[in-house]
Structure 1
Amino acid sequence: MKINNNSFDLNDKLSVLIDSSDNDGLIFIPKNIQLSVEIENYFGKITINNIAISPLESEFQINKLSVESHIPNLDIKLLDRYIYKVLSDKSGLAYSPYLYFPEYDFTVFEKGRRPSSLDWAMFSSLYVFSCNVLPESIKVELSLAKYLRVSEENFKRFMKKIPQDLFRKSGHADSRGGDISLNAENLIKDFLGSDQNAFESNPFLKFYSEVDFA
């Protein structure tokens, strides 16, 4: 995958070129076909703004009919996950959505200490944030367990222990969904102090919805 820049900060847009050399099980691009993709860093979420399909060969070697014959073989259902994987590679851009979550010390969960109300509020917001910014095909529980340095089993246990006055889970236990309460919001804003405006302006920290914010 070819990227036109070496950074991907908030609100940045990147032009990405993908072809058959990038096929890895997540996507399949037929030979002689190239994808030109514009992506954007929207509050830590990689959004795909535009996809263009074009031939790699010159117009004298390939015609429109030939391009169209390759389209049925094109498989980009997991394109967002593929782009996420490549950008997250530590040898490259080392992108992580958690760089755009409010800075907080979550080691209380790793060390097995008793979480405070603020710990639970931030934990809940982190879960909601992950539901919003991670590609749909990525398991939120597994990603967050890795980030918090706990087992997936312990993460699920923590989810069940969140005080109900701070977080409300929606949907099935293993599905994405939920929102933090006003009590949790106030705890977080008190903690953030002068940085609370960034919390208020981020659409991914309070609730998860199927609505496409981008």
Structure 2
Amino acid sequence: MSASMPQKRYYRQRAHSNPMADHTFDYPVCPEEMDWSQLYPHFFSPMDERHDRDPDKGKHGVEFADVGCGYGGLLVELSRLFPEKLILGLEIRVKVSDYVQDRIKSLRAAEPGHYQNIACLRSNAMKYLPNFFTKGQGMVYTMTDVEEVHLWMVKHFTEHPLFCQVAEEDLVNDIIISRLGTCTEEGKKVQRNGGKNFLAVFRRVEDECK
């Protein structure tokens, strides 16, 4: 089955959106109230049926979150790498999140059975991340081409009592690292312009920091 991909030129808008401005979002009161079947119908039955189609599918919930997912390049890349992991993109810009949602629909239609594990929500991660994810989930990967922003993030994560930075030598075999700066629109732009991406990875202190 063929499906035409959405064209970015119809979804363009300003590169940034003020997260402190008034926005209207739909979000659950807590992670347990989130109906993931709307985003991942292949993995979940609707909440009113109160059970999964397959007890193994989706049992760990969303394991990857791309905050500020842009046009969804990383989501698509991770979908291929981790087909059984649920991956969620969060994007505050209306047109951009619309594009990613339409892109995923087109990919699913073009390749039945694939890309069922990725989804995109329009949301403000600064405010509503705890509404979707339970306490203590996951590692944090940060990447930016602005060194000042990179230093600011490193400073605040290292000063936070719940996080420690993962040493570079322990990331050599991390297959996600090489994708972060190459598969997104912004990452490709940095490469074309001869810029540099700054990476840092952090782990919660409950997990072992190497």
Asked if these proteins are the same fold (TM beyond 0.5), I'd say no
Between Structure 1 and Structure 2, the one with more helix by share is: 1
Identify which of structures 1 and 2 has the higher relative contact order when contacts are C-alpha pairs closer than 8 Å and 6+ apart.
2
**Greater Rg by CA:** 1
TM-score by length of 1: 0.26
TM-score by length of 2: 0.26
